[in-house]
Amino acid sequence: MGQVAHTTKQCTHQHAHSNIHIQPSFLASMSRTYKIRTAVKKFCEHCYIARRKGRVYVLCKANPKHKQKQA
């Protein structure tokens, strides 16, 4: 089939892209939220199950993306 040509385009509008960045203090305050699921399960060997206030949580020290809360 046909070859795809990759081109690099220069920005033609009038503003500076250097002012679009995230402050380091904002990144430090971010925390990952829980995935809300009806059935929670461990994803890796570092995940563990905690029961708190009548809910079941899956927490992971190795990968915060694995945090889950049972609905």
Amino acid identity of residue 32, one-letter, is R
- For the range 11-15, what are the long-range contacts, defined as Cβ-Cβ under 8 Å and sequence gap of 24 or more? none
Q: What is the mean pLDDT of residues 21-30?
A: 63
- pTM for the full predicted model: 0.57
Burial class (CB in 10 A: 0-12, 13-18, 19+), 43: middle
pLDDT (average), residues 43-61: 97
Closest by CA position to 68, among listed 20, 31, 16, 32 = 32
